[in-house]
Structure 1
Amino acid sequence: MKKTALTAALFCFALFYSQKSQNYLQIGYASICCGPPSEKPVISYLKQFKKKNQLKSLEILVQNGMGREGEFNLYVGTDQLTRNQKSRLVRGLMATVSNQNNKREQNSSGIVNFDSAVVVNQSELNIKNLTIYKK
Protein backbone atom coordinates (compact mmCIF):
# COMPACT_ATOMS: atom_id res chain seq x y z
CA MET A 1 0.00 0.00 0.00
CA LYS A 2 2.84 2.38 0.85
CA LYS A 3 4.54 1.69 -2.47
CA THR A 4 1.34 2.43 -4.38
CA ALA A 5 0.78 5.69 -2.51
CA LEU A 6 4.41 6.70 -2.99
CA THR A 7 4.28 5.89 -6.70
CA ALA A 8 1.05 7.86 -7.14
CA ALA A 9 2.48 10.83 -5.23
CA LEU A 10 5.66 10.76 -7.31
CA PHE A 11 3.67 10.59 -10.55
CA CYS A 12 1.47 13.53 -9.51
CA PHE A 13 4.52 15.56 -8.48
CA ALA A 14 6.25 14.90 -11.80
CA LEU A 15 3.12 15.74 -13.76
CA PHE A 16 2.52 18.94 -11.80
CA TYR A 17 6.09 20.24 -12.17
CA SER A 18 6.85 19.00 -15.69
CA GLN A 19 6.15 22.41 -17.25
CA LYS A 20 8.61 24.66 -15.46
CA SER A 21 8.27 28.03 -17.11
CA GLN A 22 5.28 30.30 -17.35
CA ASN A 23 7.01 33.11 -19.31
CA TYR A 24 8.87 32.69 -22.59
CA LEU A 25 10.93 34.76 -25.00
CA GLN A 26 9.72 34.28 -28.58
CA ILE A 27 12.10 33.92 -31.53
CA GLY A 28 10.34 33.75 -34.89
CA TYR A 29 11.76 32.27 -38.09
CA ALA A 30 10.12 33.68 -41.22
CA SER A 31 10.60 32.75 -44.86
CA ILE A 32 10.96 35.06 -47.84
CA CYS A 33 11.02 32.57 -50.70
CA CYS A 34 13.07 29.49 -49.97
CA GLY A 35 12.35 28.49 -46.39
CA PRO A 36 13.30 29.92 -43.01
CA PRO A 37 16.90 30.35 -41.87
CA SER A 38 18.61 27.83 -39.64
CA GLU A 39 18.10 27.89 -35.90
CA LYS A 40 21.66 26.64 -35.27
CA PRO A 41 23.24 30.03 -34.37
CA VAL A 42 20.56 30.72 -31.74
CA ILE A 43 20.64 27.17 -30.37
CA SER A 44 24.44 27.20 -30.13
CA TYR A 45 24.25 30.52 -28.26
CA LEU A 46 21.65 29.07 -25.88
CA LYS A 47 23.83 26.00 -25.23
CA GLN A 48 26.83 28.25 -24.60
CA PHE A 49 24.75 30.45 -22.26
CA LYS A 50 23.54 27.39 -20.34
CA LYS A 51 27.08 26.08 -19.93
CA LYS A 52 28.57 29.46 -18.99
CA ASN A 53 25.91 30.14 -16.35
CA GLN A 54 25.97 26.53 -15.08
CA LEU A 55 22.24 26.05 -15.53
CA LYS A 56 20.79 22.57 -15.08
CA SER A 57 18.29 23.05 -17.87
CA LEU A 58 17.05 25.69 -20.23
CA GLU A 59 13.54 25.05 -21.48
CA ILE A 60 13.23 25.48 -25.26
CA LEU A 61 9.96 24.82 -27.05
CA VAL A 62 9.39 24.79 -30.81
CA GLN A 63 6.14 25.56 -32.59
CA ASN A 64 6.06 24.20 -36.14
CA GLY A 65 3.44 24.61 -38.82
CA MET A 66 3.36 28.41 -38.83
CA GLY A 67 3.29 28.73 -42.63
CA ARG A 68 3.63 27.02 -45.99
CA GLU A 69 7.41 27.23 -46.20
CA GLY A 70 8.23 25.79 -42.80
CA GLU A 71 8.07 28.90 -40.64
CA PHE A 72 8.36 28.20 -36.93
CA ASN A 73 8.86 29.83 -33.53
CA LEU A 74 11.20 29.01 -30.68
CA TYR A 75 10.19 29.78 -27.10
CA VAL A 76 12.83 30.05 -24.37
CA GLY A 77 11.66 29.72 -20.76
CA THR A 78 12.91 32.48 -18.46
CA ASP A 79 11.32 31.78 -15.07
CA GLN A 80 14.30 29.88 -13.64
CA LEU A 81 16.73 32.71 -14.55
CA THR A 82 17.77 35.55 -12.28
CA ARG A 83 17.19 39.12 -13.42
CA ASN A 84 20.87 39.50 -14.34
CA GLN A 85 20.92 36.21 -16.27
CA LYS A 86 17.76 37.16 -18.14
CA SER A 87 19.19 40.52 -19.21
CA ARG A 88 22.41 38.84 -20.41
CA LEU A 89 20.36 36.24 -22.28
CA VAL A 90 18.30 38.94 -24.00
CA ARG A 91 21.41 40.95 -24.98
CA GLY A 92 23.10 37.84 -26.34
CA LEU A 93 20.03 36.77 -28.29
CA MET A 94 19.68 40.24 -29.79
CA ALA A 95 23.33 40.17 -30.90
CA THR A 96 23.04 36.63 -32.30
CA VAL A 97 19.83 37.37 -34.21
CA SER A 98 21.20 40.65 -35.55
CA ASN A 99 24.39 38.94 -36.68
CA GLN A 100 22.44 36.16 -38.38
CA ASN A 101 20.14 38.63 -40.17
CA ASN A 102 23.11 40.72 -41.36
CA LYS A 103 24.82 37.68 -42.89
CA ARG A 104 21.80 36.42 -44.81
CA GLU A 105 21.24 36.69 -48.56
CA GLN A 106 18.87 39.62 -48.95
CA ASN A 107 16.53 38.23 -51.63
CA SER A 108 16.40 34.53 -50.94
CA SER A 109 16.98 33.82 -47.29
CA GLY A 110 14.48 34.11 -44.49
CA ILE A 111 14.70 36.38 -41.48
CA VAL A 112 14.83 35.83 -37.73
CA ASN A 113 12.53 37.99 -35.59
CA PHE A 114 13.19 38.69 -31.92
CA ASP A 115 11.69 41.41 -29.77
CA SER A 116 12.96 41.45 -26.19
CA ALA A 117 9.88 43.33 -25.00
CA VAL A 118 7.54 40.52 -26.06
CA VAL A 119 7.06 37.97 -23.29
CA VAL A 120 4.65 35.15 -24.07
CA ASN A 121 2.75 33.54 -21.21
CA GLN A 122 2.10 29.83 -21.12
CA SER A 123 -1.64 30.45 -21.49
CA GLU A 124 -1.01 32.28 -24.81
CA LEU A 125 0.83 29.36 -26.41
CA ASN A 126 -0.94 27.18 -28.96
CA ILE A 127 -0.41 23.74 -27.42
CA LYS A 128 -1.67 21.95 -30.54
CA ASN A 129 1.65 22.15 -32.43
CA LEU A 130 4.11 22.82 -29.59
CA THR A 131 6.92 20.40 -28.73
CA ILE A 132 10.10 20.36 -26.67
CA TYR A 133 13.17 21.21 -28.77
CA LYS A 134 15.49 18.20 -29.03
CA LYS A 135 18.52 18.34 -31.32
Structure 2
Amino acid sequence: MIFGQEKNQYADIYFSSKCCGTPSEEKLVSFLKNFKTQHKIKNIFVYNVCCRGEEGEYSIIIDMRSFSSNEKIKLKEGLKKTQLAYNEVYKKSREGSIMITYLDDLEAVPYQKKIGKRKIMKF
Protein backbone atom coordinates (compact mmCIF):
# COMPACT_ATOMS: atom_id res chain seq x y z
CA MET A 1 0.00 0.00 0.00
CA ILE A 2 1.25 3.46 -0.90
CA PHE A 3 2.03 5.84 1.97
CA GLY A 4 -0.77 8.37 2.50
CA GLN A 5 -3.26 6.43 0.41
CA GLU A 6 -5.76 6.22 3.26
CA LYS A 7 -5.87 10.00 3.62
CA ASN A 8 -7.34 10.59 0.18
CA GLN A 9 -10.99 11.26 0.89
CA TYR A 10 -12.04 12.87 -2.41
CA ALA A 11 -11.30 12.26 -6.08
CA ASP A 12 -11.29 15.47 -8.12
CA ILE A 13 -11.96 14.76 -11.80
CA TYR A 14 -11.24 17.95 -13.72
CA PHE A 15 -12.76 18.32 -17.19
CA SER A 16 -10.43 20.59 -19.16
CA SER A 17 -10.86 22.28 -22.52
CA LYS A 18 -8.47 22.53 -25.43
CA CYS A 19 -10.38 25.07 -27.47
CA CYS A 20 -13.87 23.81 -28.13
CA GLY A 21 -15.37 22.72 -24.85
CA THR A 22 -15.00 19.98 -22.32
CA PRO A 23 -15.44 16.25 -22.92
CA SER A 24 -18.77 14.64 -22.12
CA GLU A 25 -19.07 13.18 -18.63
CA GLU A 26 -20.95 10.19 -20.05
CA LYS A 27 -18.06 7.70 -19.62
CA LEU A 28 -17.47 8.80 -16.04
CA VAL A 29 -21.15 8.55 -15.12
CA SER A 30 -21.34 5.10 -16.71
CA PHE A 31 -18.24 3.96 -14.79
CA LEU A 32 -19.65 5.25 -11.47
CA LYS A 33 -23.01 3.53 -12.00
CA ASN A 34 -21.28 0.24 -12.83
CA PHE A 35 -18.91 0.61 -9.88
CA LYS A 36 -21.83 1.23 -7.53
CA THR A 37 -23.66 -1.88 -8.75
CA GLN A 38 -20.56 -4.08 -8.86
CA HIS A 39 -19.48 -3.21 -5.30
CA LYS A 40 -23.01 -3.02 -3.89
CA ILE A 41 -22.53 0.55 -2.70
CA LYS A 42 -25.75 2.20 -1.57
CA ASN A 43 -24.92 5.73 -2.75
CA ILE A 44 -22.02 7.55 -4.32
CA PHE A 45 -22.08 11.25 -3.55
CA VAL A 46 -20.37 13.69 -5.89
CA TYR A 47 -19.92 17.45 -5.93
CA ASN A 48 -20.15 19.35 -9.19
CA VAL A 49 -17.85 22.38 -9.12
CA CYS A 50 -18.53 24.65 -12.07
CA CYS A 51 -16.82 27.67 -13.55
CA ARG A 52 -13.19 26.61 -13.23
CA GLY A 53 -12.19 28.28 -16.48
CA GLU A 54 -13.24 30.43 -19.39
CA GLU A 55 -14.37 27.56 -21.64
CA GLY A 56 -16.69 25.75 -19.25
CA GLU A 57 -14.08 23.74 -17.37
CA TYR A 58 -15.46 22.05 -14.27
CA SER A 59 -14.81 19.29 -11.76
CA ILE A 60 -16.75 16.34 -10.48
CA ILE A 61 -15.55 15.44 -7.00
CA ILE A 62 -16.31 11.98 -5.64
CA ASP A 63 -16.74 11.71 -1.88
CA MET A 64 -14.89 8.53 -0.87
CA ARG A 65 -15.12 8.94 2.91
CA SER A 66 -17.59 6.08 3.32
CA PHE A 67 -15.67 3.66 1.09
CA SER A 68 -13.62 0.81 2.49
CA SER A 69 -9.89 0.74 1.73
CA ASN A 70 -10.47 -1.92 -0.91
CA GLU A 71 -13.28 0.09 -2.53
CA LYS A 72 -11.03 3.17 -2.68
CA ILE A 73 -8.27 1.15 -4.35
CA LYS A 74 -10.70 -0.33 -6.88
CA LEU A 75 -12.26 3.08 -7.55
CA LYS A 76 -8.84 4.64 -8.17
CA GLU A 77 -7.88 1.81 -10.53
CA GLY A 78 -11.14 2.24 -12.44
CA LEU A 79 -10.77 6.02 -12.57
CA LYS A 80 -7.25 5.65 -13.97
CA LYS A 81 -8.57 3.39 -16.76
CA THR A 82 -11.41 5.82 -17.42
CA GLN A 83 -8.97 8.73 -17.56
CA LEU A 84 -6.75 6.91 -20.06
CA ALA A 85 -9.77 6.07 -22.25
CA TYR A 86 -10.94 9.70 -22.19
CA ASN A 87 -7.55 11.13 -22.95
CA GLU A 88 -6.82 8.70 -25.80
CA VAL A 89 -10.04 9.68 -27.58
CA TYR A 90 -9.69 13.38 -26.90
CA LYS A 91 -6.06 13.59 -28.05
CA LYS A 92 -7.45 13.33 -31.55
CA SER A 93 -10.46 15.61 -31.05
CA ARG A 94 -10.89 19.30 -30.43
CA GLU A 95 -12.25 18.76 -26.94
CA GLY A 96 -10.24 18.70 -23.75
CA SER A 97 -9.23 15.88 -21.47
CA ILE A 98 -9.69 14.90 -17.84
CA MET A 99 -7.21 15.04 -14.98
CA ILE A 100 -7.62 13.30 -11.62
CA THR A 101 -6.18 14.38 -8.29
CA TYR A 102 -6.90 13.07 -4.82
CA LEU A 103 -7.66 15.40 -1.95
CA ASP A 104 -7.87 15.10 1.81
CA ASP A 105 -10.20 18.06 2.16
CA LEU A 106 -12.69 19.86 -0.07
CA GLU A 107 -11.09 23.16 0.89
CA ALA A 108 -8.16 22.15 -1.34
CA VAL A 109 -10.28 22.38 -4.50
CA PRO A 110 -8.85 25.17 -6.69
CA TYR A 111 -11.15 28.14 -7.30
CA GLN A 112 -13.91 26.87 -5.03
CA LYS A 113 -13.68 29.80 -2.63
CA LYS A 114 -14.07 32.27 -5.48
CA ILE A 115 -16.98 30.41 -7.01
CA GLY A 116 -18.84 29.03 -4.05
CA LYS A 117 -20.96 26.87 -6.36
CA ARG A 118 -21.12 23.21 -5.48
CA LYS A 119 -24.02 20.99 -6.29
CA ILE A 120 -24.23 17.58 -4.63
CA MET A 121 -25.47 14.76 -6.83
CA LYS A 122 -26.17 11.17 -5.97
CA PHE A 123 -25.47 8.15 -8.19
| TM tier relative to shorter chain | 0.7 to 0.9
Alpha-carbon separation, structure 1, partners of 2:104 and 2:56: 21
Relative contact order, CA 8 A, sep 6+: which one is greater?
2
Identity %: 26
Code of the residue aligned with 1:129 in structure 2: it is K
Q: Based on CA coordinates, which of the two structures has the bigger radius of gyration?
A: 1
1:46 to partner: Cα distance: 0.6
Report the counterpart of residue 91 of structure 1 in structure 2: 77
1:104 to partner: Cα distance: 1.7
2:99 aligned to which of 82, 106, 113: 113
Judge conservation of contact 1:26–1:120 (CA < 8 Å) in 2. Answer: no
> What is the number of equivalent residue pairs in this alignment?
112
Judge conservation of contact 1:59–1:76 (CA < 8 Å) in 2. Answer: yes
CA RMSD of the aligned region, Å? 2.0
Where structure 1 has 5 or more consecutive residues not aligned to the other structure, the ranges are 1-21
TM-score (norm 2): 0.82
Code of the residue aligned with 2:119 in structure 1: it is T
Judge conservation of contact 1:32–1:107 (CA < 8 Å) in 2. Answer: no
Structure 1 residue runs of 4 or more that deviate by more than 2 Å after TM superposition: 122-127
Report the counterpart of residue 34 of structure 1 in structure 2: 20
Where structure 2 has 5 or more consecutive residues not aligned to the other structure, the ranges are 1-7
1:114 to partner: Cα distance: 1.3
